[in-house]
Chains A and B, each alone.
Chain A
Amino acid sequence: MYVYDQYDQQLLNERVTQFKGQMARYLEGKIAEDEFLPLRLQNGIYVQRYAPMLRVAIPYGQLNSDQMRALAKVARDYDKGYAHFSTRQNVQFNWPALEQCPDILADLAEVQMHAVQTSGNCIRNTTTDEYAGVIAEEVVDPRPYCEIIRQWSTFHPEFAFLPRKFKIAVNAVPGEDRAAIAMHDIGLNIIKNDAGEVGYRVLVGGGLGRTPILGTEICDFLPEQHLLTYLDAIIRVYNQFGRRDNKYKARIKILVKALGIERMRELVEEEWNRIKDGEGQLTQAELARVKQHFVDPSYEDLTDEPETLISAKAENKGFARWLSRNVRAHKKPGYAVVTLTLKQIGTPPGDVTAEQMDQIAELSDEFSFGELRSTHQQNLVLPDVEQRELFNVWQKAKVLGLATPTLGLLTNMICCPGGDFCALANAKSIPVAEAIQARFDNLDYLYDLGELDLNISGCMNACGHHHIGHIGVLGVDKKGEEFYQVSLGGNSGGNAGDTSASVGKILGPSFARDKMPDVVATILDFYVANRHEGETFLEAYRRIGHDSYKGAVYGKAD
C-alpha cells in the first residue's frame, strides 16, 4: 500500500499542528462556534447526540495492521473501547472528548492516518472496490488512481468551501461495481479503449440523500493523464455555479439537473480545455511512482483447492458455509480473499472492540501480509490469505465473532449509527437491525433466501444507503414518534452480473418499530412463494412488480 514519503508526512504533521492551534484558539474563545464548525468538520469532528464523533479516514478502504493497532489504541485510550466502521470505508469513534481530538490526530499521524476532509463541504475520502488489487476481474488496480486523487484533493486551495460535500468513487471491474459509482458526485469507471489505453468513463451528479439520483455520463472516455484536470474542471464549474442558498439543493446533482447534462458537459469541457495541457496533467512518472507502492506482495507459488482445504470443507459444514459466503476467488492461484464480518448478533453492524481490532491486526500479520481493507458493507477484509490456511483463519475468526457466514445475505445488513448516536437521526436504526437479525437467525433459511441487501438509515441523509438496498429501511419522524418507511428494488450495482444500479421505490405508509420484523417477514414470504427457480430477490421483484409486493404487505394492491 502507499507509504508516505517526506512530503506526505510533513504535510500531515503540519496539519496536526494547524488543528492544534485552531482548537486552542477556539477554546480561548478566539474563534466563534460557527466559524470553528468547518474547521473541525474538515478534521473529522462532528458534535453528536451525546459526544463529539471523530471520523478517521481510511483512504479507499486500505489499511495495514499497524494502523489497525493504532485505531485500537485510540478506542482504548480516548474512547469506550470500540470503534465503528462506516459505509464510506471510514472508521468512527463515538466518545472522544473534543479537546483531545488534536492529540488523537497526532497519534494517528505517526501511522500515516488522519481525519482530513472526512466531513465538511469539501472533497471527501475517495472510495473504491474493497477487493481492489487482488481480483482477476479488474481492468487495472484502481488504488494508485485513488491515491493520486487523494493527494490532489488534500487541502485543495480552491475547493475547501464548496456548496456541499463532494464524493468521488472509482471502479475498475467491468460488469460489477462494488464502489457504487453511480451514487457519487463523480463516479469514475476505469476502462480500456479499443487501442488498449487506460482511461475513465466519467459519471457526474449521482447521490443518495433527500433526492436520490443516479449519475449521468459526462465523458465516455477520458484518457488516463487527464484525470486531475478533468476533476478540477468539473468541481470548478460546481464551485462557481452550484446552489448555495439551500443546503438541500446544493449538491452537484441538482446543478446537473438544472443545467442538463449537455450544458454541464459544455461548461466542463470549456473549462477543461483551458487547463488540460498544463502542468496539472498527470505524468507517466507520477503514475509509475504511485503504482510501485501497490505491487504484489511476495506471493508463493501455490495451487488452488489444496487437499487440506478440500477435506476440511467435506468434514465441516460450518466451514463450508463460511467458504461459500465469506471467501472469494483471488487473482493468484492458491490464495483467497476473506471477509471478516462485523455483523455479530447483538452488536451494531460495523462495530468492533479494541480487543477484536488487535486480534484482527494479528490475523492480518499472520495470514495476509499485514494488510486489511474496510468495506462499504461495514466489514473488514483479509486480502491475501493462502487457501491452505483458510480453515485456520476460520477457526480464529469464529472465536472472535468475525465469521458470521452471511456475507451478501439478509442479516449482513448495512446500518447507520442512527438515533443511538447521531444528532441528525429521525429514528434509531440499530435496534431495527438487531430485531431483524434476531428474527432471521436460521442459516438454512438465510441461505435459501440467497443474495439480499437490507440497508437501514436513521434519516434522509442516507448514511445507511437505504436507497440502494434491495430492501431499504428509512427512519422517519411522525409527530415526534419513530417510524420506518420501507422501500424495495434498490440496487448498488455491486452484484456479479447485475450492474444495473437502481434507487428503491417506497412501498407505502411507514411502520412502527416493533412491526418491522413482521413486515420484512411478509415481504420475504411473498418472494419465496412467488419466485421462480434460481431467481434472486431482486430479479423476482423486478419481474413480479412493485404493486404486488405492496398488495402483499398492505393487504390490497392499488
Chain B
Amino acid sequence: MAKLINTHGEVANTPLTQVTFEQWQASPNGNSLELFLSSDQTADLIGDQCKSFARICIDFPKFSDGRGYSAARLLRERYGFNGELRAVGDVLIDQLFFMKRCGFDTFALRDDQVLEDALAAFSTFSVSYQNDVLDQKPLFRRRMN
C-alpha cells in the first residue's frame, strides 16, 4: 500500500468515489467525486470542469513519465482548480520537490520509499529560478540585490 503524505507527514485518506473522465462524461453528476486522470489525458481535456471534483488524482505510471507535471500545473494555474491534487502511481522521493512546485498537495508515496527521506525532500531547495504554482513570480522578479 502506498503511504499517503502531504509536505508535513503522513495523512489519512478520505475515501471518495473515484471516476475516470470517460465515466464522468457518461454521467456527469455526483458530489465529492475523485477524478482519476491517466498520464495520456491532458488538463485541457477536462478544462473548467475540473471544479466539479473534490480531488483529482494524476497518475504517474512510471516516475520518468513527466506529463503529470504539466497536467497539474495547468489545472492549478489555468483552470483554477482548488481541490486536492494528488500524485499517484510511481511516486518516488526524488520527484516530490518538482511535484510540490507543480501544485500537488498530497502524494501517494510508493510503499518502499522511506518516509523521513521523503519529507526531507520537500525542502531540497530553498530557492527556485522559475515561477511555479507556489510562487507566481520567477526569481528575476524577486531578486533583491
- Using a CB–CB cutoff of 8 Å, the interface residues on chain A facing chain B are 5, 7, 10-11, 14-15, 18, 21-22, 25, 30-31, 35, 38-39, 121, 148, 151-152, 154-162, 228, 236, 239-240, 244, 274, 278-280, 282-283, 285-286, 289
Contact between chains at A5 and B101 (CB < 8 Å): no
Q: Are B143 and A157 in contact (CB under 8 A)?
A: no
Secondary structure at chain B's binding surface: helix, strand, loop or mixed? loop
CA distance in complex: A160, B67 (Å): 10
Given A14-B124, A280-B131, does the pair A158, B70 have CB atoms closer than 8 Å? Answer: yes
Whether A279 contacts B128 in the complex (CB less than 8 A), given A30-B117, A35-B63, comes out as: no
A7: which B residues are within 8 A, CB to CB? 127, 139, 143
| Interface set, chain B 119-145, CB cutoff 8 A to A | 120, 124-132, 136-141, 143, 145
Going nearest first, the 8 A-B pairs with the smallest beta carbon separation are A161-B66, A157-B101, A286-B140, A158-B69, A151-B129, A157-B98, A279-B136, A14-B125
Jot down 10 A-B pairs with beta carbons below 8 A, ordered by A.
A7-B143, A25-B117, A35-B63, A152-B129, A152-B130, A154-B129, A155-B129, A157-B102, A158-B102, A283-B140
B132 to chain A, nearest CB (A): 5
Knowing A156-B130, A274-B78, say if A161 contacts B125 (CB, 8 Å). Answer: no
Q: Which residues of A contact B125 (CB under 8 A)?
A: 11, 14-15, 18, 155
Given A14-B126, A38-B64, A155-B125, A239:B69 Cβ within 8 A:
yes
User: Told that A39-B94, A157-B102 touch, could you supply 16 new A-B pairs with CB distance under 8 A?
Assistant: A7-B139, A7-B143, A18-B125, A21-B120, A151-B140, A155-B125, A157-B69, A157-B98, A158-B132, A159-B69, A161-B69, A239-B66, A240-B42, A240-B71, A279-B141, A289-B140
Q: Is B55 at the interface (CB under 8 A from chain A)?
A: no
Q: Residue B70 contacts which of A31, A151, A239, A289 (CB distance < 8 angstroms)?
A: A239
Docked CA distance A70–B11 (Å): 47
Give min CB distance, B121 to chain A, whole Å. 8
A18 touches B124 (CB 8 A): yes
Is B73 part of the contact surface with A, judged by Cβ < 8 Å? yes
- Contacts A157-B102, A283-B140 given: A244-B65 contact, CB under 8 Å? yes
Contacts of A239 in B (CB 8 A): 66-67, 69-70
What total of A-B pairs shows CB separation below 8 Å? 109
Q: Point out the residues of chain A lying under 8 angstroms from B143, CB to CB.
A: 5, 7, 289
Among A11, A35, A278, chain B packs the most CB atoms within 10 A around the CB of: A35
Is A240 within 8 A of B70, CB to CB?
Answer: yes
Distance to closest chain B CB from A114 (angstroms): 14
Cβ of B92: which chain A residues have Cβ within 8 Å of it? 35
* C-alpha spacing A151/B102, complex, angstroms: 18
Report if A5-B145 is in contact (Cβ < 8 Å); known contacts: A25-B117, A157-B101. yes
Q: How far is the CB of B71 from chain A (nearest CB, A)?
A: 8
Q: Which B residues are in CB contact (< 8 Å) with A160?
A: 66, 69, 95, 98
Contacts of B145 in A (CB 8 A): 5, 289
Instruction: Considering the complex, give the chain B residue whose CB is closest to the CB of A158.
Output: B69
Q: Once bound together, how far apart are the Cα atoms of A240 and B66, in whole Å?
A: 8
Identity of the chain B residue whose Cβ is nearest the Cβ of A282 in the assembled complex: B140
In the complex, which residues of chain A have a beta carbon less than 8 angstroms from the beta carbon of B64? 38, 121, 161
Nearest CB of A to B30, in Å = 28
Q: How far is the CA of A282 from the CA of B69 in the complex (A)?
A: 23
Q: Does B114 contact A (CB under 8 A)?
A: yes
Inter-chain contacts of A35 with B (CB < 8 A) = 63, 92, 94
Measured in the bound complex, the distance between the Cα atoms of B47 and A441 in whole Å is 66
Chain B residues whose C-beta falls within 8 Å of the C-beta of A31 in the assembled complex:
94
Chain B residues with Cβ below 8 Å from A278 are: 131, 136
Which A residue sits closest to B123, measured CB to CB? A14
State which of B67, B95, B127 has its C-beta within 8 Å of the C-beta of A11: B127
Q: What separation, in Å, do the CA atoms of A130 and B78 have in the docked complex?
A: 40
Specify which chain B residues have a CB less than 8 angstroms from the CB of A236 in the assembled complex: 70
CB-nearest residue of chain B to A244? B65
Residues of B within 8 A of A15 (CB): 125
Please determine whether B130 and A157 come into contact, CB atoms closer than 8 angstroms. Answer: yes
| In the bound complex, CA of A358 to CA of B65 (Å) | 43
Which B residues lie within 8 Å of A156 (CB)? 129-130
**Cα-based distance from A285 to B142 in the complex (angstroms):** 11
Among B78, B132, B136, point to the contact of A157 (Cβ < 8 A): B132
* Chain B nearest CB, measured from A276 CB (Å): 13
Q: Please name all residues of chain B whose beta carbon is closer than 8 Å to the beta carbon of A14 when the two chains form the complex.
A: 124-127
- For window 47-82 of B, CB contacts with A under 8 Å fall at 63-67, 69-71, 73, 78
